[in-house]
Structure 1
Amino acid sequence: MNLAEVRTEEVDGGWALVFVRELRHAPERVWAALTEPGQLAAWAPYTADRDLAATGDATLTMIDGEDGQDLAATVSRSEPPTLLEYTWGDSLLRWELAPAGGGTRLTLRQTLAEPEWASKIAAGWHLCLDVAEHLLDGDPVPPIRGMDAMNHGWTELNTAYGERLAD
């Protein structure tokens, strides 16, 4: 199991998970996967009602099986193809993309209500980004969302990230 770099940071009296992963694809391709509704629907834990490359309000629908929950979102920063920042419910997600060896170094910072959630969230993003890599490779697989993650190694990833974050 090849884990991402992870750590937690204190931010504005709260916490953030910092999740860093190398992807094989150029920042422009990764940017499209992060912002275009059709691509997001293929890998992310939510769908978007519009392209996230433009600032302003949006709705992200969290998907768990047949159930969806609409969450208000606001894209506050969009600097293609290097920086995307938006709210997702009570969280702030900041995606930073940098060229790295023919691919992209993706850094996600997500605010957390409690630092204890860091390993759980890292495990979820790990699975989602595995699916995104398949999409970018031209070999799409179904998205892994919600409780379905339990069937794809989420428990083991949660434990492994928990151990890494405890170091």
Structure 2
Amino acid sequence: MSSAFDPGPPADAAVVAAGEQWTLIFVRTLPHPLAKVWAALTDPGRLDQWAPFTAAGDLSRPGATTLTTVDGPDRTDLPATVLRAEPPTLLEYTWGDDLLRWELAPAGDGTRLTLRHTLAEPDLAPMVAAGWHLCVAVLDRLLADDPVGVIRGRDAKAHGWDGLRAAYADMFAR
């Protein structure tokens, strides 16, 4: 069994205007090699262990797919299109009306992960940041071979989501 789960303090994050949309920029340095992080971002079997959705196909190739948001027993299929896949440094895809761009760069022995999640409304940014914060913390533990199990949807409330949302709201208000 894994040790206790602590998602840690808020990550480096910001919200910037992009025309009529807003982009959450979420940055985390993970102590894992680029190739390992890339595989976790693109392989459906690995995504299912940490992401807020399941993927109908491999995200390492451009093309249409479906991402299914999971919240307890509820499942919502959303169309997705992988727009760019440049292993192991750039992955960009749509998720419903949102656009996600994952940028990976070497950071010592690890990987600097930058997520640019474009949203229709800036008010969603603290909630989205808190959700990705938990997901990336789960991803880090998964890649360290110390999995805690996927935490998504309403289950996130039991793992500090409310406090993280409030912390990100304060951060973005400055």
Superposition TM-score, scaled by structure 2 size: 0.94
Q: Which runs of 5+ in 1 are unaligned?
A: none
Cα distance in 2, alignment partners of residues 2 and 157 from structure 1 = 8
How far is the alpha carbon of 1:2 from its aligned partner?
2.4
Equivalences for residues 17-166 of structure 1 within 5 A: 17-166=24-173
Q: Percent identity?
A: 58
Look up the match of 2:4.
none
1:5 to 2:19 alignment: no
Cα distance in 1, alignment partners of residues 14 and 137 from structure 2 = 19
RMSD (Å), alpha carbons? 0.8
Work out the number of aligned pairs and report it.
167
Cα distance in 2, alignment partners of residues 15 and 26 from structure 1 = 30
How far is the alpha carbon of 1:13 from its aligned partner?
2.2
Deviation above 4 Å: which 4+ runs of structure 1? Answer: none
Output the amino acid matched with 1:55. Answer: P
Check conservation: 2:20, 2:120, Cα contact below 8 A.
no
Cα distance in 2, alignment partners of residues 89 and 38 from structure 1 = 21
SS in 2 for 1:77: strand
Q: Deviations over 1:97-149 (max 9, x none)?
A: 00002111100001111111111100000000111111101111211111111
